[in-house]
Amino acid sequence: MFSQTELTNSVQELTIVTEKRLIPFFPARQLRDELTPERYSGDPDQYASIARTAGARFYTNGWYFIGHMLRNNWLLPLILVIILFYGTAFASELNQAHRHLSLLTVNGVDPHRLWLSRFALGVLTTAAAVLVPVGLFLAGSLLFSPAGSLQYPILLWHIDGSETFITLAAFLGRGALLLFLVIMLGFAVDMLWSVLTRNALLAAVLTALTAGLGFFIQRTPWLPFPYLNVGAVSNGFALYRMGSGSFAQAVLVLTLWSIVLLAGALGLLQRNRRYGYDFRN
């Protein structure tokens, strides 16, 4: 039913766990990956029930659950909501009814520096809003079970379709860096739409629609959208699916697009100020 790949990966995983005396998953059952449903040779109608029985894992340890949460991108909706909520401040500054930016400018405050400060504050606040609850969850989980081991083996995909293992610490480190860059990109997108529309609601809608493009554009390595799938990029599956790229490339693309969009927003802000378009008519 399951292929030799699942059997080999499961044996290798348990061998590493045994040799390093790591805390195993409970229950320690078959290790599946993203292509397991395609390799399954049994009755397709029975796959879901068989997979639940043969591969069920309950993630009863804090670090293991955080890794599971990262792989399934459970933090991305929270990040998007925070960006949409906090990002409304950018468009509100350009609204005719909100003279805060104009008042600060008259008193010698550089609007570009102000927006850069708000951008940095938004990024750091959002990162903290994600990190603090995760840290509290990890601390609370220690009351019920050990945290698990950061040396636990996690599957890593390669471009040629082969699989090896990296540590859970490396996987979480990759995911944390990508999440931070996604937050930066999200605020840069929201800032650009805010300057273009000068309408908080419209900017929020357009930012959400831009994020939604990640569901449809998944094989264009020079665009940031394939890398919004943080879990699949962290374990290499998104790169294997594209047939090119690397984790370093994902970091570079997200960083460059954040800088380009941020620079574009500030450039448009300067143009609007020069020609008297600071506020909506």
106-130, pLDDT tens digit by residue?
666 677 788 888 899 999 999 999 9
pTM of the model: 0.91
CA distance linking residue 265 with residue 281, whole number of Å: 20
Which of 62, 86, 275 is CA-nearest to residue 183? 86
Q: Which residues of the chain have pLDDT under 70?
A: 95-109, 273-281
What's the pLDDT at 103?
Answer: 58
Which of 17, 12, 59 is CA-nearest to residue 151? 17
CB contact at 8 A, 119 and 262: yes
Which of 65, 87, 47 is CA-nearest to residue 187? 87
AA letter at 280: R
CA distance linking residue 34 with residue 36, whole number of Å: 6
Could you tell me where the DSSP H helices lie in the chain?
Answer: 4-20, 36-39, 47-55, 62-71, 76-86, 88-93, 100-106, 111-141, 168-197, 200-212, 230-234, 237-242, 247-274
